């Protein structure tokens, strides 16, 4: 298996329950809900993506021929320090994550987290599963550690009835993350209103965007 990686970097997790944690980010190339090309965005299932995941040309990116080669490169980003932690993201990481990679990362001592759209089953070896559902897609991974709902959603996005249905899924933490687009203030207000009306949900913000982190 060759792994196509857009970029890799060391930062702090900016989002969710693990926000603030030192983490290697491994961003896989490619997604099943958008091609990543601007001219396709309008017609994509997922239309609000804030990420460039096309190709393997980013810092620390490339094609990795084996799981060991990729795990070694990831571990080099961690460097010194206890408790190696890695976030597998993309793009959609579950298009590429396999047994060999999970074993190779665990073999180097990593605790493994994933950021996934939930349309593919999360690998059972992953230690922290974050799912961010997208309206119009079929979410099959309906349990995990945290559900991270981007809110509000553009036209055709999740409704309040969908939100209620998600409360019946099997997640330990329910989070709303304000949509990052040109209407940041209004979006934050809508996300706050959702939490005010439904106290099982908590607000998460994309802290890295305020802190000058990647």
Ligand X SMILES: Nc1nc2[nH]cc(C(=O)O)c2c(=O)[nH]1
Ligand Y SMILES: C[S@@+](CC[C@H](N)C(=O)[O-])C[C@H]1O[C@@H](n2cnc3c(N)ncnc32)[C@H](O)[C@@H]1O
Is 12 a known ligand-binding residue? Answer: yes
HEC string of 47-90 equals CCCCCCCCCCCCCCCEEECCHHHHHHHHHHHHCCCCCCEEEEEC
Total count of residues recorded for the chain: 214
Is 130 a catalytic site residue? no
Contact code string over 87-126 relative to ligand Y, x by CB under 6 A:
--xx-x----------------------xxx---------
Interface stretch with ligand Y, choices 61-69, 86-94, 99-107, 193-201 (CB under 6 A) = 86-94
Q: Which does 148 bind (CB under 5 to 8 A by kind): ligand SF4, ligand X, ligand Y, none?
A: ligand Y
Alpha-carbon distance of 178 to 204, in angstroms, equals 8
Radius of gyration of the chain (CA): 17
Q: Which of residues 4-43 bind ligand Y (CB under 6 A)?
A: 31
CA distances to 67, 152, 153, 189, 199 from 156, rounded to whole Å, are 39, 11, 8, 20, 25
Q: Rule CB under 6 A: which residues touch ligand X?
A: 11-15, 25, 51, 89, 115, 208, 213-214
Residue 195 is encoded by which pair of tokens? Answer: 């939490």
- Helical (H) or strand (E) element with 163: helix 160-166
Q: Which does 34 bind (CB under 5 to 8 A by kind): ligand Y, ligand SF4, ligand X, none?
A: ligand SF4
Per CB under 6 A, 132 contacts ligand Y:
yes
Per CB under 6 A, 153 contacts ligand Y:
no
Alpha-carbon distance of 147 to 167, in angstroms, equals 10
Catalytic residue among 7, 28, 46, 171: 46
Residue among 176, 153, 174, 147 at smallest CA distance from 49 = 153
Q: For the chain, how long is the longest CA-to-CA vector?
A: 49
CA distances to 29, 62, 141, 214 from 203, rounded to whole Å, are 28, 35, 22, 20
Catalytic residue among 25, 53, 64, 75: 25
Per CB under 6 A, 204 contacts ligand Y:
no
Is 35 a known ligand-binding residue? Answer: no
Residues placed in the known binding site for [4Fe-4S] cluster: 31, 46, 49
Residues placed in the known binding site: 12-14, 27, 31, 46, 48-51, 89, 91, 132-134, 177-180
Q: Which residues are catalytic?
A: 25, 31, 46, 49-51, 115, 208
Question: Which residues are near ligand Y by CB under 6 A?
Answer: 31, 48-51, 89-90, 92, 115-117, 132, 148, 150, 177, 179-181
């Amino acid at each position: 298996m060759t792994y196509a990686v857009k970029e890799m970097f060391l930062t702090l997790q900016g989002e969710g329950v693990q926000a603030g944690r030192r983490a290697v980010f491994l961003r896989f190339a490619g997604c099943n809900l958008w091609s990543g090309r601007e001219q396709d965005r309008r017609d994509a299932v997922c239309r609000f993506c804030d990420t460039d995941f096309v190709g393997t040309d980013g810092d620390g990116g490339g094609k990795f021929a084996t799981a060991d080669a990729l795990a070694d490169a990831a571990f080099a980003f961690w460097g010194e320090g206890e408790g190696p932690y890695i976030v597998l993201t993309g793009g959609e990481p579950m298009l590429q994550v396999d047994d060999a990679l999970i074993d190779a990362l665990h073999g180097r001592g990593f605790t493994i987290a994933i950021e996934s759209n939930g349309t593919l089953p999360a690998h059972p070896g992953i230690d922290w599963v974050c799912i961010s559902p997208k309206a119009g897609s079929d979410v099959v991974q309906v349990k995990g550690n945290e559900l991270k709902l981007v809110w509000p959603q553009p036209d055709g996005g999740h409704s309040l009835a969908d939100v209620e249905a998600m409360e019946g899924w099997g997640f330990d933490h329910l989070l709303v993350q304000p949509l990052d687009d040109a209407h940041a203030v209004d979006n934050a207000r809508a996300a706050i209103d959702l939490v005010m009306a439904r106290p099982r949900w908590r607000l998460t913000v994309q802290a890295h965007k305020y802190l000058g982190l990647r």
